[in-house]
Amino acid sequence: MTRRILIRIEYDGGPFVGWQRQINGPSVQATIEDAAQAFIHKPTIVAGAGRTDAGVHATGQAAHLEVPKKFNANRVMEALNAHLTSVPITILNATEVPYDFHARFSATGRRYLYRILPRRQAPALNFGRVWHHKHHLDLKLMKIAAKHFLGQHDFTSFRASKCQAESPVRTLNQLNVELIGDEIHIYAEARSFLHHQIRNIAGTLTLVGRKKWHPDDVNLALKAAHRSAAGPTAPAHGLYLIGVDYPSVYKSRD
Catalytic annotation, residues: 53
Question: Taking the alpha carbons of 150, 152, 158, 164 in that order, is the dihedral positive or negative?
Answer: positive
Q: Provide the β-strand partners of residue 109.
A: 245
Q: What is the CA radius of gyration of the chain?
A: 19
DSSP state for residue 121 in the 8-state scheme: S
d(CA 132, CA 237): 10
- Entry field: residues in the chain: 254
Q: Which residues of 88-97 are buried (b: 16+ CB within 10 A; e: fewer)?
A: ebbbbebbbb
Rounded to the nearest 5 degrees, what angle is found at the Cα of 122, between the Cα atoms of 118 and 128?
95
